[in-house]
Amino acid sequence: MQPKKQNCWEYMKCGMSIFALTHIGFVRKSNEDRYLIKKLTDGSVLLAVTDGLGGEVAGDYAAEIIMGRLAGIHHVSMDKEQQELELLVKDIDLSINSEAQKDSDLEGMGSTVICVLLRDGFAHWVHVGDSRLYVLRDRQLIQVTEDQTLARFLLEEDEITPEQVPTHYSRHIMDQCVGCGICEPETGRLEVQDKDLLLLTTDGLHEKIPSETLFSILNAETSIKTKAQSLVQAALDTGGKDNITIVIAEL
pLDDT-based confidence at residue 3 (cuts at 50, 70, 90): very low
Question: What is the C-alpha separation between 217 and 49, in angstroms, rounded?
Answer: 20
Rounded to an integer, the average pLDDT of 36-43 is: 94
How much is the pLDDT for 14? 59
pLDDT-wise least confident of 5-9, 81-85, 214-218: 5-9
How much is the pLDDT for 158? 85
Residue 164 domain flag: no
Residue 187 domain flag: yes
| pTM, rounded to two decimals | 0.92
> Residue 5: pLDDT above 70?
no
pLDDT-based confidence at residue 13 (cuts at 50, 70, 90): low
Residue 162 domain flag: no
Rounded to an integer, the average pLDDT of 21-31 is: 95
CA angle at residue 231 from 109 to 173, to 5 degrees?
30
Rounded to an integer, the average pLDDT of 196-214 is: 96
Ordered DSSP codes for the chain: ---SSSEEEEEEETTEEEEEEEE--SS-SS--EEEEEEE-TTS-EEEEEEEEESSHHHHHHHHHHHHHHHHT-----TT-HHHHHHHHHHHHHHHHHHHHHH-GGGTT-EEEEEEEEEETTEEEEEEESS-EEEEEETTEEEE-S---BHHHHHHHTTSS-TTTGGG-GGGGSBS--BTSSS---EEEEEE--TT-EEEEE-HHHHTTS-HHHHHHHHHSSS-HHHHHHHHHHHHHTTT--S-EEEEEEE-
Residue 120 domain flag: yes
Residue 13 domain flag: yes
Rounded to an integer, the average pLDDT of 161-169 is: 85
Residue 160 domain flag: no
Q: The domain that contains 210 carries what CATH number?
A: 3.60.40.10
pLDDT-based confidence at residue 2 (cuts at 50, 70, 90): very low
Residue 193 domain flag: yes
Residue 77 domain flag: yes
Range(s) of the domain holding residue 197: 7-144+177-250
- pLDDT tens readout for residues 78-109: 999 999 999 999 999 999 999 999 999 999 99
- Residue percentage of the chain with pLDDT more than 70: 96
Total domains present in the chain: 1
Ordered DSSP codes for 70-131: HHT-----TT-HHHHHHHHHHHHHHHHHHHHHH-GGGTT-EEEEEEEEEETTEEEEEEESS-
CB contact set of 223 (below 8 Å; sequence gap of 6+)? 19
Which amino acid makes up residue 176? Answer: Q
How much is the pLDDT for 4? 40
pLDDT-based confidence at residue 167 (cuts at 50, 70, 90): confident
Question: What is the C-alpha separation between 9 and 21, in angstroms, rounded?
Answer: 7
